[in-house]
Amino acid sequence: MSRSVSSGGDGPVPRFAVVGNPDNRRIAFFEEAVRSAGLPPARVVSWLQVLRGEAVFEAGETVRIDSPGEDAEVERLLRGVDDPTRVEGSARWYARFTAAVDAVAVAASAAGAEVLGSPGDIAVLFDKRLCHGLLDRAGVPVPVSPTSGPEAAPVRGWSDVRELLREHRTPRAFVKLAHGSSASGVLAVETAGPGRVRASTSVERDSSGRLFNSLRVRRYTSETEVGAIVDALAPDGLHIERWLPKASQRGRAADLRIVVVGGRATHAVVRTSTSPMTNLHLGGARGDLDEVRAAVTAAGGSWREALTMCERAAARFPGTPCVGVDLLPTAGWRRFAVGEVNAFGDLLPGLTGLPGSGAEGLNTYAAQVAAVLDRARNHRAVTPS
């Protein structure tokens, strides 16, 4: 349970509207955070309303944009497929989603409302190639990639992947959909000479060649099978990055999701798995954060520097007040790299703020509400009466 956040102060307090799927738990968590802060109830604008051109905003509202995921009809309109478990269609999803975000920003601005989240930031955050390139140019440590940045040539299929891995001397790599999320279309590929390939992925391929997301990570050991999957994914755009040897906790591969709110790292969760993908919905489990901090210190590293790295990554998206940073610890826990930055990386039920973060006792949603309230109070304090 999150502690209450008092709105306090004189003058008007924020009135929230949230764009999301009304029955989704993300919306329920945010609505509870708003209620706990003593604010007027958040008004929900559905993604269906946005996609149908029916969204309306009100003057003075603070508009939060949340994930369009986990709704079959919204997914159909964005991706253009009838089965929400299908993998294909992410390029179409990206084009339609970013256009919808732009429409929200335009409609909100015309009504005199403020949007939390920059459409430009969101467009980069949902393109792994652009996001990776932006971080790399800013000096944020990231895995080596031959596909990041706007100047990189498109990957047309498995033959291109094979050649890039050979050219960059990268026998182990992650091959990802450029616009994927939640490990959709991700393959952890290992090569060891001609014809010797294996890949771990949650992608399931049926007899007709269609691709589906599964909740089970499986391993393909035939280059023909791996190549067929990659060839099917390639039209939607692919991103390749070196597979860093991860640190482990209790014999399981480990990484971290760090939530950054208002420029400060406020929440952290350890994710562990027996597979290369640590996503919790794919069988990953939460690890022990105290053990991570102790391991980093014992290795001569700095936990504070690791958090600062995440804050530096978040700072590349100044128009977006909350992001989730995937932090990759290398073997031995001494060094870190940023794997991805997620626009909607705050769904971490039951997690409260890090000591000294200013979000102690608050979940990720309450911390975001508190940040908006703090900003409003600061604005009133410096605005002449």
Mind listing the pLDDT tens digit for each residue in 50-109? Answer: 999 999 999 999 999 999 999 999 999 999 988 989 999 999 999 999 999 999 999 999
Q: How many other C-beta atoms can be found within 10 angstroms of the C-beta atom of residue 11?
A: 10
In this predicted structure, what is the pLDDT of residue 383?
52
| pLDDT tens readout for residues 265-283 | 999 999 999 999 999 888 8
pLDDT at position 376: 84
Residue 264 has pLDDT above 60, yes or no: yes
Whether pLDDT at 349 is above 80: yes
> What residues are paired with 255 via a beta bridge?
271
Kindly give the pairing relationship between strand 61-65 and strand 114-116: parallel
Q: How far is the C-alpha of 126 from the C-alpha of 288, rounded, in Å? A: 29
Residue with tokens 């992410």: 90
CA 381 from chain centre, in angstroms, equals 34
pLDDT digits (tens, 9 = 90+) for 144-171: 999 987 788 899 999 999 999 999 999 9
Distance CA 130, CA 214 (A): 27
Query: What is the pLDDT, as a whole number, of residue 84?
Result: 87
Per-residue pLDDT band for 5 (boundaries 50, 70, 90) equals very low
Nearest to 267 by CA among 149, 371, 180: 371
- Adjacent-strand bridge partners of 219: 200
Q: What percent of the chain has pLDDT over 90?
A: 87
Is residue 211 classed as helix, strand or coil in its secondary structure?
strand
Give the C-alpha separation, 380 to 282, whole Å: 46
pLDDT at 197: 94
Least confident piece of the model among 233-237, 275-279, 338-342: 275-279
Average pLDDT, the chain: 93
Residue 323 has pLDDT above 90, yes or no: yes
Tell me: pLDDT of 384 over 80. no
Of 243, 237, 238, 167, give the one whose Cα is nearest residue 198.
243
Burial of residue 25 (number of CB atoms within 10 Å: 0-12, 13-18, 19+): exposed
Beta strands in the chain (DSSP E): 15-20, 43-46, 61-65, 114-116, 172-177, 187-191, 197-205, 211-220, 238-242, 248-249, 252-261, 264-273, 285-286, 322-329, 336-342
Cα–Cα distance measured from residue 1 to residue 6, given in angstroms and rounded to the nearest whole number: 16
pLDDT digits (tens, 9 = 90+) for 241-260: 999 999 999 999 999 999 99
The span from the CA of 77 to the CA of 126, in Å, is 18
**C-beta of residue 73 within 8 angstroms of C-beta of residue 48:** yes
Stretch (H or E) spanning 312: helix 303-315
Q: Does 4 have pLDDT greater than 50?
A: no
Question: What confidence category does residue 372 fall into, taking pLDDT thresholds of 50, 70 and 90?
Answer: very high
The answer, yes or no, to whether residue 329 has pLDDT greater than 60, is yes
User: Which residues, 6 or more positions from 224, have their beta carbon under 8 angstroms from its beta carbon?
Assistant: none
